[in-house]
Amino acid sequence: MSTGTSPSQTTRIPRALRPFRHRDYTLLAASMAASLFASGLWVVALVYQVIALGGGPSQLSLVSAAAATGLLLSVLLGGVAADRMSRRRLLRLVETVRIAMAGLAATLALTGTLQLWSLAVIAFAVGAAEAFFFPAYSAILPTLLPPDELLAANGLEGILRPATMYAAGPALAGALVAGFGPAYALGGAAAGYLLALLPLLAIRVPAMSAERGRTSVLGDLGEGFRYLLRTGWLFATLAFAVLLVLVVIGPIEVLLPFAVRDRTASGPGGYALVLALFGLGGAVGSVVASAGRMPRRYLTVMILLWGLGGVPLVLVGFTDRLWVMGAVVAVVGATHGAAMVIWGTLLQRRVPPALLGRVSSLDFFVSLALMPVSMALAGPIGESIGIPLTFTLAALVPVPLAVLALLIWRLPRDETAHSLD
């Protein structure tokens, strides 16, 4: 892979910027930025389109559940597809589907023919397309970059997501909705997905090394599950992650707005500020993690970032200062963002290339599987034992879980035997 940059010049380029020496990675990063930006537009436009159709919280839940169902039902198939077909073609197909669906929603809305049921069907299709995107993206990165630049590339995604999907995209969507109506925000999402497709048309990806024998989809899924079950560090991390999601996500997603309201007497603006700081913390953590080298004790560092990084959540249930809540979630966002950069790089460097799509989809599936359960439990538990105690449990329970994961599966010994430095 020729970059036209001499070794002496390379050492002068900041580590976080070195992936941009590669033309095809730069095109992929541009596509990712546009795609995340469009997704931020889409999510906000969807909310206000439901409201414009006369819907309330129940109707919005129906449309959101349709999107989540499409994602959950398709994510394992997305991993199989990423390992069976051209990942470049798959990414192009995903963006084409999203352009078509967002464009269809905008057209139906502008012509007055959009209904809640049709919006739910479109949301399902967009969610299903999302499930094919991330396995293909994760699996294509190692074909474009040398191993020592994957950490920086994964850090970039950790920066782009809060900056585009949670900030810039929703900000433009809000302006379009306020100035013209949600149909125009839906059209803006379609335009954003079109911008994401254009760099993919010019990208060049090295051919996959060998043609795999033809197997069934179920056979491919079984192969991915068998690899997961026999690979200790992978199974330990995903087992810990699913419990972490169960304990932490619900309180943050469901109870944090009420903690802001009841403890600090702040309204929607205060909650928006806390969420923005959470995203900012994630971006900072991603920058810090990607600017250096892969930690020698990468499994230990990653698990402890997740396990200990949430301890400050104890303060959320007790403080009456908005800035303290903001600082707490910023710290949590930073530790989790840094851990995610390490995790993405770890998958790309230790999982065999022929299995990377399926393993990435299993990772995605595990992250999603108990998220609805966590959200469903958080409200009743918070009402039963109180928000302060619920956040205390969310903060402290992951600590022994992290220690157990490290010790039971002997992860320190594994990372020493498989150095990635």
DSSP string for 16-73: GGGGGGSHHHHHHHHHHHHHHHHHHHHHHHHHHHHHHTT--HHHHHHHHHHHHHHHHH
- Residue 310: closest CA among 241, 254, 379, 394: 394
Pairwise CA distance, residues 349 & 357, whole Å: 13
Q: Which two tokens stand for residue 105?
A: 């929603």
> In this structure, are 160 and 46 located in the same domain?
yes
Summarised one tens digit per residue, pLDDT across range 295-332 is 999 999 999 999 999 999 999 989 999 999 999 999 99
> In this structure, are 364 and 274 located in the same domain?
yes
User: Does pLDDT of 114 surpass 80?
Assistant: yes
To the nearest 10°, report the CA torsion of 246, 251, 253, 257: 170
* DSSP 8-state symbol, 13: S
CA 130 vs. chain centroid, Å, equals 11
What CATH number does residue 128 fall under? 1.20.1250.20
Rg of the chain over all Cα atoms, to the nearest angstrom: 21
Boundary residue ending a domain (141, 171, 202): 202
> In this structure, are 177 and 226 located in the same domain?
no
> In this structure, are 133 and 275 located in the same domain?
no
> In this structure, are 384 and 355 located in the same domain?
yes
Within a domain: 38: yes
Within a domain: 100: yes
Residue type (1 letter), 51: I
- Residue 353: closest CA among 136, 133, 169, 158: 136
Pairwise CA distance, residues 377 & 30, whole Å: 39
Cα–Cα distances in angstroms (integers) from residue 416 to residues 107, 132, 295, 299, in the given order = 56, 34, 11, 10
Residue 83's φ and ψ, nearest 5 degrees, are -95, -10
pLDDT band, very low/low/confident/very high, at 14 (cuts 50, 70, 90): confident
The beta strands (E) that lie in 289-388 are given as none
Within a domain: 2: no
> In this structure, are 274 and 351 located in the same domain?
yes
Summarised one tens digit per residue, pLDDT across range 253-300 is 778 888 888 889 887 678 878 877 888 898 899 989 988 889 999 999
Residue type (1 letter), 74: S
pLDDT band, very low/low/confident/very high, at 2 (cuts 50, 70, 90): very low
- Residue 260: closest CA among 244, 247, 284, 276: 276
The whole model's pTM is what?
Answer: 0.81
Which residues, other chains included, contact 207 with Cβ-Cβ below 8 Å and sequence gap of 6+?
none
Residue 197: half-sphere exposure toward Cβ, Cα within 13 Å? 17
> In this structure, are 363 and 274 located in the same domain?
yes
Within a domain: 267: yes
Within a domain: 260: yes
Boundary residue ending a domain (153, 176, 202): 202
Which residues, other chains included, contact 230 with Cβ-Cβ below 8 Å and sequence gap of 6+?
none
> In this structure, are 195 and 252 located in the same domain?
no
Summarised one tens digit per residue, pLDDT across range 83-109 is 988 899 999 999 999 999 999 999 999
Within a domain: 399: yes
User: Does pLDDT of 210 surpass 50?
Assistant: no
pLDDT band, very low/low/confident/very high, at 217 (cuts 50, 70, 90): confident
> In this structure, are 271 and 334 located in the same domain?
yes
Residue type (1 letter), 377: L
Within a domain: 11: no
> In this structure, are 344 and 375 located in the same domain?
yes
CA 101 vs. chain centroid, Å, equals 21
Summarised one tens digit per residue, pLDDT across range 351-370 is 998 899 999 888 888 777 77
Within a domain: 3: no
Residue 366 confidence (pLDDT): 79
Pairwise CA distance, residues 310 & 395, whole Å: 5
> In this structure, are 149 and 264 located in the same domain?
no
Instruction: Write out the residue range of the structural domain in which residue 35 sits.
Output: 18-202
Cβ contact 356:220 at 8 Å: no
> In this structure, are 152 and 240 located in the same domain?
no
Tokens 């599936």 map to which residue? 365
Pairwise CA distance, residues 124 & 117, whole Å: 11
* DSSP 8-state symbol, 8: H
Cβ contact 46:63 at 8 Å: yes
Residue type (1 letter), 400: P
- Residue 262: closest CA among 386, 376, 377: 386
Helices (H), 85-147: 87-110, 116-144
Q: What is the mean pLDDT of residues 129-142?
A: 91
Boundary residue ending a domain (202, 229, 256): 202
- Max Cα distance, the chain (Å): 63
Q: How many structural domains comprise the chain?
A: 2
